[in-house]
Amino acid sequence: MMSDHAHPLKLAFLGCGGIARDHLLGVQQYASRIQVTAAIDLDQDKAQAVSAATGAHVFTTLEQALAEGQFDAVDIMLPHHLHESAAVTSFEAGKHVLLEKPMATTLDACERILESARRAGTVFLAGEYAHYWPEVVRAKQLIEDGAVGRVFTARATAPAQFDPYWFPNAQCWRFDKARTGGGITIDGGSHYVRPLRMWMGEIDEVVATMGHPLTPMQGESLVQALLRFESGDSAMFEFMIVDTVLGAEAMWRITGTRGQLAIYRDRGLWLHDAEHRDGIQVLASRGRAAPFGLELADFATAVLDGKPLAAGPEESIADLRAALAMYRSVQSKRWEKVRE
């Protein structure tokens, strides 16, 4: 199913909390073919904020919006436990769907969502903005061009300081394990694991440990893992959210036989090799809106022009399998295969 590419993609925001602000900036700066025409949230103040910026009509439920609104696609930005029902309802209404990561909290739920998407025949993007992160994409190109030789290891380090922007109150859904499906591993881990997969291939097995330094959070707020890839190479992964002061460091270091690539949140992508031992900046950071906007633009192009997506939904399932294997490893205290 395709819309006439001469017209904008009319999009409904389902869930108008913190992440919707990033999506909105992405639309405004990078996805000019999208028009946000519906803002759906139980909290009308949040929906009104989106409406004020876009002119979107405000609705309190998806069902009301589907009955009364005018839109081609739904951008689902809800707590994880609501993903399946919202996606299936949207597909059954014949809508295109962009669903924020993780696709769902279980593989069975993912399969049900995929089956609903197949029946609908509409575009389905299981969102993971890291796949569109300019520095990540450029690093992949450099690796393929042999800029650092053969990559044999990498490290993803993601220390995050507690931010009320994402945890506005004690009732925030991210504190609730039943709604997240776990903790930060299943919530944001894919932001860092997906690039590792893009650069090094599929993960074969993992061994992990987890902790709870952010005590109000029911799920883990610290995960440390070793990932062994099908190639036999390995990488390190560490992700934490803590209520303390943190120093700056590279989010990724990718090491090859001829040099190293480093990606910093604010400093962009750097190359270290024989000619640039102290490093040379290859790509400046384009800010937080860029990967979201490029993802939304890809979604619009797929709907309006029929162009294949840069990342199919199977990529999201592979990310989830890695997270679930880490949880199994914590229980078993041993290496766990990503594919059981």
Domain 131-286+320-337 has CATH 3.40.50.720: no
pLDDT tens string 189-225: 999 999 999 999 999 999 999 999 999 999 999 999 9
Determine the pLDDT at residue 4: 44
How many other C-beta atoms lie within 10 A of the C-beta of residue 60? 13
> Would you list the domain boundaries of the chain?
9-128+291-308, 131-286+320-337
Determine the pLDDT at residue 307: 98
In CATH terms, are 9-128+291-308 and 131-286+320-337 the same topology? no
Instruction: Name the β-bridge partners of 73.
Output: 11, 96
- Kindly report whether the global pTM for this prediction surpasses the value 0.85: yes
Determine the pLDDT at residue 168: 80
CA–CA gap between residue 218 and residue 77 (Å, rounded)? 21
Determine the pLDDT at residue 166: 77
The answer to whether 16 and 47 have CB atoms below 8 angstroms apart is yes
Residues of the chain under the 50 pLDDT cut = 1-5
Q: Both tokens of residue 263? A: 């990606």
Determine the pLDDT at residue 290: 97
For residue 109, give every residue at least 6 positions away whose Cβ sits within 8 Å of its Cβ, in sequence order, or none. 83, 84, 103
Assigned architecture for domain 9-128+291-308: 3-Layer(aba) Sandwich (3.40)
Determine the pLDDT at residue 336: 98
pLDDT tens string 133-164: 999 999 999 999 999 999 999 999 998 888 88
Determine the pLDDT at residue 171: 83
Q: Both tokens of residue 207? A: 């061994």
Determine the pLDDT at residue 6: 65
Determine the pLDDT at residue 164: 80
Q: Give the three-class secondary structure for 265.
A: coil
